[in-house]
Amino acid sequence: MPTDLTAIDLATLNAVQGVIVAALRNQCCQWEQQSIDAAADGRLSNALMLENWAFAADLLAGVVSTEVSSLFGQALNA
């Protein structure tokens, strides 16, 4: 974590947040669809694994969004 928050370009930070969160949410949707497909094919173990991965990706997207927003706020107050 940078110690000099005044040097952070807020537009870049905002863009990075958008790209990372969008990529994670996209991957989440892909895994959810693959889970549905696997369940329909009777591959229940694979379906559960993919559903767990989707949940983890969705959770991670939320964490990344929160942490980058926090950093953005700190940089504004620096």
In 10 A of CB 45, how many CB atoms? 8
Task: From 74, 75, 71, 76, select the one nearest 20 (Cα to Cα).
Answer: 71
Quote the pTM value. 0.83
Tally of domains within the chain: 1
Task: From 11, 3, 27, select the one nearest 72 (Cα to Cα).
Answer: 11
Domain that holds residue 31: 5-77
Task: Give 2-58 pLDDT, tens digit per residue.
Answer: 566 677 788 988 999 999 999 999 999 999 999 999 999 999 999 999 999 999 999
